[in-house]
Structure 1
Amino acid sequence: MPEANPNAAPYTADLALLQSAAHTAADIALRHFRGNYQTWDKPGGAGPVTEADLEIDAMLRDTLTTARPTYGWLSEETEDDAARLTKPNTFIIDPIDGTRAFAAGEKHWGHSLAIAENGQITAAVVAMPAIGKIYWATRGGGARDETGPLQVSPQSNLDQAQILATKPNMDPAFWPNGTPGFKRHHRSSLAYRMALTASGRFDAMLTFRPTWEWDIAAGTLLVTEAGGTATDQSGAPLTFNSAKAQTHGVIAGGPTHREIIAIRG
């Protein structure tokens, strides 16, 4: 596991804790990946959950809350507890982001680990074990992967942009001033889409659906610390550890972010 950025004080200790936990989560996930394990469908069409999701969730909750007993806890695979709303600091966790891809034996799934302090993300890790990538950031300390600092793309021409989005987001109803000509790409994990945007491999990512905080908390810090902007679909700032634990979609990127907001009016 890469070392934490030594210039990322005062959140270095929290980052190191998340990095260590992500390493353990990766070990568990890879032990199950493409093997035999149980899978269930969540109620209400909320998607699948696997034995690996639940094992990782239990490990992360035990490891992280033992190390930081005063922090709250918000995870996709743990029943929500409103006590987190009274905590200045809260872990926001997706044990496996991209469970459908994981269950299908595809590689684009990962672990999304973040800490929110008074609504803002201060430390974050996105780990992608099946492809051997890890990204991390601290508030004010920059964003990095194992090759060095991350920097968002400088692309400002929306029609020439490469953007990560699912096909339903291209519905003309979302683009009242006309659908732009950017090239659409897709990855299963929202956290990975944000990490790829932070690294400049894509110019932006977007989703107009209500978005769970655990899918985007870590990625939001990666993008902003890489010099980009992350907001909801209206351009409003993102805040975390809310009662609903959802945002009104998300748009993230470099200058392309501004162009997306502008064209949608």
Structure 2
Amino acid sequence: MPETDLSLLIDAARQSGDIAMRFFQKNPNVTDKPDGAGPVTEADLAVNNMLEETLGDARPDYGWLSEETEDSDARMSTERQFVVDPIDGTRAFIEGGKDWSHALAIVKDSQVVAAAVYLPVRDVMFAATLGGGATMNGVPIRASEVQVEGATVLGAKPNFDGRFWRGGVAPPIKRAFRSSLAYRLCLVGQGRFDGMMTLRPSWEWDIAAGALIATEAGARVTDQHDRPLQFNNIFPKVPGVLAAGPNLHANLAVLLEPQNANP
């Protein structure tokens, strides 16, 4: 029987973890990308090479979008596309933290249809298919139903500055932080945190996999302007992300200033 797209992603995510762990906490070579795009390690590149070869061999007709591969408009003419971040949370990886991940997704008609996010240090695998629900290590997960009062939302500190909220004051929510955007979205799907937000333009490879996992777990995931996320864009960025259970999401979307600068 042919391997399903989801099982292909899960297997590739585990292989990614095996490769990355060979470099983890062993002073991997680090270089800075041009134009302040952040660091990249030899582990990022090794994982990317494996993924491009393994996934490309398995699905040669799928397009390819990865943080560590120069983009090409060839993907725009394909029916499905791989959207991957070989290591999401590279800075955490360099620092020896636990909260970096491998984020792998497949997109069709601008929607994510299969996703896997794997945290090898924690040995935690999040996975989802469109319409098929979301799981963590094979067990179904569900997003929180908390509203604003008492909610804890994942995000960088500047997002909670009053200038981004109506009335100049952030709502009464607690803030937490994790390095990987993909992991933040998965934690919302798991219900460990009530929401996540970033008011900065976000690369598709950072959010595609986590967005499906959170959505299939019952969260609402949109851009910062409360519009549906679309993937495989010519320029692969979306204008921020807001993810939470439906009630909390609705409340936060109303409270955000409609015209806000990026923090």
Looking at structure 1, the residues matched to 166 and 256 of structure 2 have their Cα atoms a distance apart, in angstroms, of: 6
SS state of the match for residue 4, structure 2? helix
Partner of 2:13: 22
Does residue 171 (structure 1) correspond to residue 129 (structure 2)? The answer is no
SS state of the match for residue 159, structure 1? coil
Report the identity percentage.
50
Determine if contact 1:12/1:138 at 8 Å carries over to the other structure: no
Looking at structure 1, the residues matched to 75 and 138 of structure 2 have their Cα atoms a distance apart, in angstroms, of: 35
Q: Give the drift of 1:236.
A: 0.3
Determine if contact 1:91/1:116 at 8 Å carries over to the other structure: yes
Alignment of 1:83-98 (within 5 A): 83-98=74-89
Looking at structure 1, the residues matched to 149 and 172 of structure 2 have their Cα atoms a distance apart, in angstroms, of: 4
Equivalent residue for 1:259, pick from 247, 251, 255: 251
Looking at structure 1, the residues matched to 223 and 108 of structure 2 have their Cα atoms a distance apart, in angstroms, of: 19
SS state of the match for residue 185, structure 2? helix
Looking at structure 2, the residues matched to 263 and 12 of structure 1 have their Cα atoms a distance apart, in angstroms, of: 45
Q: Give the drift of 1:63.
A: 0.3
SS state of the match for residue 20, structure 1? helix
Q: Tell me the alpha carbon deviations over residues 70-110 of structure 1, each in whole angstroms, 9 at most, x when there is no partner.
A: 10000000000111011110000000000000001111101
SS state of the match for residue 188, structure 1? coil
Q: Tell me the alpha carbon deviations over residues 107-140 of structure 1, each in whole angstroms, 9 at most, x when there is no partner.
A: 1101000000010000000000111211000001
In the superposition, the TM-score normalised over structure 2's length comes to 0.94
Alignment of 1:7-156 (within 5 A): 13-146=4-137, 148-156=139-147
Looking at structure 1, the residues matched to 149 and 170 of structure 2 have their Cα atoms a distance apart, in angstroms, of: 10
Q: Unaligned regions of 5+ residues in structure 1, if any?
A: 1-10
Q: Tell me the alpha carbon deviations over residues 31-69 of structure 1, each in whole angstroms, 9 at most, x when there is no partner.
A: 110013210001111110000000000100000011001
Partner of 2:261: none
Which residue identity lines up with residue 22 of structure 1 in the other structure? A
Looking at structure 2, the residues matched to 206 and 168 of structure 1 have their Cα atoms a distance apart, in angstroms, of: 11
Determine if contact 1:125/1:136 at 8 Å carries over to the other structure: yes
Looking at structure 1, the residues matched to 121 and 200 of structure 2 have their Cα atoms a distance apart, in angstroms, of: 27
Query: Could you say if the C-alpha distance between residues 12 and 225 of structure 1 is closer, same or farther in structure 2, counting changes exceeding 3 Å?
Result: farther
Looking at structure 1, the residues matched to 63 and 165 of structure 2 have their Cα atoms a distance apart, in angstroms, of: 38
Looking at structure 1, the residues matched to 248 and 70 of structure 2 have their Cα atoms a distance apart, in angstroms, of: 37
Partner of 1:6: none
Give the superposed CA RMSD.
1.2
Moved over 2 A (4+): none
SS state of the match for residue 30, structure 1? helix
SS state of the match for residue 92, structure 1? strand
